[in-house]
A and B are shown apart, each in its own frame.
Chain A
Amino acid sequence: MLDGLSFELLMAIVASMAPVLCFGLIMVFTRRSISASVTVGIIGSFLSWFASLYLFLHYFHAEEAVVFKGAWVVSASLKIPFGYYFDPHSLLMLMIVATISLVIQIYSIGYMAGDPGKSRYYAFLCLFSWSMINLVIAPGLLQLYIFWELVGVSSYLLIGFYFEKWSASEAGKKAFVMTRAGDIGFFIGIIILMLTTGHLSIAVFGNAAEVGNTGLSQALLTLSAILIFSGAVGKSAQFPLLTWLPDAMEGPTPVSALLHSATMVAAGVYLVSRIFPFYAASSTAMMVVLIIGTITMLLSSTMAMTARDIKQVWAFSTISQLGFMFMGLGAGAYFAGVFHLTTHAFFKALLFLCAGVFIHHFETNDFFEMSKAGARKMLIPMITVTIGVAALSGIPPFSGFFSKEAIMAGLAHKGNIWLIAGLLGAAMTAYYSFRVIFVMWFPKGEVEEHGHGHEGGHDDGHGGGRWAWVTEWSMLSVLLILGAITLVLGFFQKELEHFLTGHSAEHHGSQLILVLALGCALAGVILAWFEFGAKNAKQEGFLSRMKSVEALFSNRWYMDHAYRKLLDYVVYGGITNTFTRNDRVIIDGGIDGLCRFTVSLGRAVSRIQSGLLQYNLYLTFLVVALMGLYFLLV
């Protein structure tokens, strides 16, 4: 057994299993002691991060993908393997996930200070890290699916962390069920692939030559690709399953940063890019990805323009950036999609964590109120949030600029209409994100600088002033780290491209696209400046002059209403009601009726029983006499 245990495998096991061990430890032993749980959680994450770093560096120059796997479940000809698959793509994702998990656990020391459920929180974070890491390094689609589901469960648990709020537990349920709806397509797609080709290995579906050898007919390939994509639609909150993500912001902010922006929701993009050659083999499937990505990107950008809740803005921007990644992938720009995924993971985590600092400090989610309460006095968060927003809007030299530009080049390659949609999206992104920044930097109206004045009160609540610096710096240091990554990551485009694709193309976007993209972003920024930033701006968006459009945007295009109606009228009112009635009236009614019939028949027959003994005797005698006669005669 231990013969095959190389040091690399041991590190892989540490990377993937340390978090779940911590989950078990916290749930079983240290649930009562918060500090012990935090220590266990952070040690586990650190171990896992360290092992991931080792693997990343160790395999950085590996020629081929390294696979460890063994059969986990064997049932007749069905073999479900469990193992690890290390290639540049999975290593990159592993690094992203491990790093962000670690920094967020550190950040949460401060953010969750004083929360009685902190042990549970760390346990769930560990559960999430475990499932996400195993998802990322899965060697087969089925293992990916298994951890995909587990990621969904941890997301459910974390969104509903403040379970005493109805809205939070509602949101958790909604997230679970909506992503489940997509996952069912994913599951069916996997089964179809498994039954027709006999294997689900990523080594096969991630390799263009092998995909051709599977003997899959074009129709089945397209069908299964679209079905699998529906899983990605659910998990990455794409149209039409996008409304769960804004609601998921009910969870603690670090959770929003970890799950609902940087890693988990990117799993859908990861899935598509993971088996990209498989998708590339079906132009229809690629078109579906492109269309869904475009619709989502535009829809959610419009939603973000009217939101007043800072987390909602970031949530919508996450959806739209994910849509953007899908656009890139759908247009065939594999590297651009993955690169944007990478940069987005860091700057979006940064944005959420900054928002977390503000929310933690001002105890409101509304950025207009934060601004009035003096948000601009908090220099480090303000600077880092600005860096994040600049990256999000695609302003050079921040990382988002490079990745967006790469996607634009891909879109231009595909056709002008997609490029126009992309540019429109970029402009809207710049507009709504700088709207937030300008509002926060330049408060208008009366400013209550120390309106809340709860510096002291906060520290008391969080375990004494002596440890206040830990609380504060655990959060701020993470902001600085992520800010630094956001600043420099863009310059590693060539290296990353070489790492991922094995060759680094020339600067493949034309100058025109560069100018166009930048121009659109700047147009958005300038519009935002005149409406929110300039001295005599009223801080009202141009949308407020178009009431019906604003209502449409702020009601999320009435998608939630539609789902609510669907649930109420079709599921609850229609099917459930019919079935329940059928149970009560037809099945139970039938059986009860049969019983009642039997009983009443008995009643009717019992009339014969007069109760007088001698009638019974008469009858007995009569029967005996008749029988005697019968035997006598026959």
Chain B
Amino acid sequence: MNELQVYLFVALILFCLGLTGVLQRRSLIAMLISVELMLNAASLNFMAFNRFLTPEPAVGQIVTLFIIGTAAAEAAIGLSIILAVFRRYQSIDIERARELKG
């Protein structure tokens, strides 16, 4: 197992943790945090590939910066949605927000 694989492995674990969190946690805040975890896993992958495979054009780093930017925006929008949900249902439990039921 070389160093790249270690990074990829860590990222995989992070991603799986995040996925499990998004799919399993009923609290919207926790889901948002889990999404951040998945994003971080992706960032980690980019950094690792950048470092070990194509160091010269720092595209990986640029993408990571983008991800951080979008993550911030996403968190802002996500939190405001959560706030709106809380105002409506007095709770951030996702089981309460079921208006799209068919």
Interface string of B25-52 (1 = CB under 8 A from A): 0100000000000000000000000000
**Contact status B23-A618, CB under 8 Å:** yes
Instruction: Tell yes or no: B97 within 8 A of A by CB.
Output: yes
In the assembled complex, the CB of A337 is this many whole angstroms from the nearest CB of chain B, namely: 83
A206–B6 CA distance with the chains assembled, in angstroms: 112
B window 32-91: CB within 8 A of A: none
Determine whether the beta carbon of B19 is less than 8 Å from that of A611: no
Contact in complex: A617, B95 (CB < 8 Å): no
Residues of B within 8 A of A618 (CB): 23
A613, CB-defined interface residue at 8 Å:
yes
- Total chain A interface residues with beta-carbon distance under 8 A: 14
Docked Cα-Cα span, A462 to B65, in Å, equals: 103
B98: which A residues are within 8 A, CB to CB? 610-612
Compute how far the CA of A440 lies from the CA of B102 in the bound complex, rounded to whole angstroms. 89
Given the contacts A617-B23, A618-B23, A621-B19, A612 and B102 also touching, CB distance less than 8 Å: no
* Chain B neighbourhood of A605, CB < 8 A: 102
Contact B23 A607 (CB under 8 A): no
Measured CB to CB, the nearest residue on chain A to B97 is A613
- In the complex, are the beta carbons of A621 and B23 less than 8 A apart? yes
Indicate whether B94 reaches chain A with its CB closer than 8 angstroms.
yes
In-complex Cβ contact of B95 among A603, A609, A612 (8 A): A612
Can you name the residue of chain A whose Cβ is closest to the Cβ of B98?
A: A611
Partner of B22, one of A606, A612, A617: A617
Give how many B residues have a beta carbon under 8 Å from the other chain's beta carbons.
Answer: 13
Docked complex Cα distance between A618 and B95 (Å): 15
Bound Cα distance from A606 to B102, whole angstroms: 5
Closest beta carbon of chain A to B11's beta carbon, Å: 16
Whether the Cβ atoms of A614 and B23 lie closer than 8 Å is: yes
A614 to B24, CA, bound (A): 8
Contact of A609 among B23, B97, B102 (CB under 8 A): B102
Q: Does A2 sit at the interface, judged by CB under 8 A?
A: no
Chain A residues with CB under 8 A of B3: none
Q: How far is the CA of A609 from the CA of B102 in the complex (A)?
A: 5
Check A73 for interface membership: any CB of B closer than 8 A. no
- B28: nearest residue on chain A (CB-CB)? A613
A608 at interface, CB cutoff 8 A? yes
Given A614-B22, A614-B23: A609 touches B94 (CB 8 Å cut-off): no
Residues in B whose Cβ lies below 8 Å from that of A610 = 98, 101-102
CA of A609 to CA of B98, assembled, Å: 10
Q: For the complex, what is the distance from the CA of A614 to the CA of B98, rounded to whole Å?
A: 11
Closest to A610 in B: B101
- Bound complex: CA A260 to CA B87 (Å): 86
Please, how many angstroms separate the alpha-carbon atoms of A614 and B93 in the complex? 12
Q: Which residue of A lies closest to B102 (CB)?
A: A606
Within the complex, the shortest CB–CB distance from B22 to chain A, in Å, comes to 6
* A605: nearest chain-B partner, CB-CB: B102
Number of A-B contacts (CB under 8 A): 32
Residues of B within 8 A of A607 (CB): 102
Q: From residue B101, how far is it (CB to closest CB) to chain A in Å?
A: 3
Closest to A615 in B: B23
- CB B70 to nearest CB in A, in angstroms, measures 19
In the assembled complex, the Cα of A608 lies from the Cα of B94 at a distance in Å of: 18
B22 touches A609 (CB 8 A): no
B23 and A612 within 8 A (CB): no
Complex: A505 Cα to B26 Cα, angstroms:
118
Q: How far is the CB of A328 from chain B (nearest CB, A)?
A: 85
A612 → chain B closest CB, angstroms? 6
**Is A611 touching B100 in the complex (CB atoms < 8 A)?**
yes
Task: Let me know if B23 and A611 touch, CB within 8 A.
Answer: no
Chain A residues whose C-beta falls within 8 Å of the C-beta of B23 in the assembled complex: 614, 617-618, 621
Cross-interface CB contact of B94 among A606, A612, A621, cutoff 8 Å = A612
Question: Which residue of chain B is the closest to A607 with respect to CB atoms?
Answer: B102
Contact A611 B22 (CB under 8 A): no
- State the CA gap A296–B35 with chains docked (Å): 98
Q: Which residues of A contact B100 (CB under 8 A)?
A: 609, 611
Question: CA A248 – CA B3 in complex, angstroms?
Answer: 110
Q: Which residue of A lies closest to B24 (CB)?
A: A614
What distance in Å separates the Cβ of B12 from its nearest Cβ neighbour in chain A?
Answer: 13
Inter-chain contacts of B19 with A (CB < 8 A)? 621
Segment 569-619 of A: residues with Cβ below 8 Å from B: 603, 605-614, 617-618
Q: Using known A-B contacts A621-B19, A621-B23, determine if residue A614 contacts B102 with beta carbons closer than 8 Å.
A: no
Interface centre among A606, A607, A608, A612 (most CB of B within 10 A): A612
Query: Which residues of chain B have C-beta atoms less than 8 A from A606's C-beta?
Result: 102
- Closest-CB distance, A605 to chain B (whole angstroms): 8
Q: How far is the CB of B28 from chain A (nearest CB, A)?
A: 9
Chain B residue, CB-CB nearest to A608? B102
B24 to chain A, nearest CB (A): 8
Q: Complex formed: what's the CA distance from A618 to B31 in Å? A: 13
| Most B-side CB within 10 Å, residue of A605, A608, A613 | A613
**Max chain A Cβ within 10 angstroms of own Cβ: one of B23, B26, B97:** B23
Please give, as numbers and ranges, the residues of chain A lying within 8 Å of B102 by CB-CB distance: 603, 605-611
Q: Which residues of A contact B (CB under 8 A)?
A: 603, 605-614, 617-618, 621
Known contacts A612-B94, A621-B19; can you find 15 more A-B pairs with CB under 8 A? A603-B102, A605-B102, A609-B101, A610-B98, A610-B102, A611-B98, A611-B100, A611-B101, A612-B95, A612-B98, A614-B22, A614-B23, A614-B26, A617-B22, A621-B23
Per CB-CB distance, the 9 closest pairs between chain A and chain B, nearest first, are: A606-B102, A611-B101, A611-B98, A609-B102, A611-B100, A613-B94, A614-B23, A617-B23, A607-B102
Chosen A-B contacts, 21 in total, with CB atoms closer than 8 Å, are A605-B102, A606-B102, A607-B102, A608-B102, A609-B100, A609-B102, A610-B101, A611-B99, A611-B100, A611-B102, A612-B94, A612-B95, A612-B98, A613-B94, A614-B22, A614-B23, A614-B26, A614-B94, A617-B22, A617-B23, A618-B23
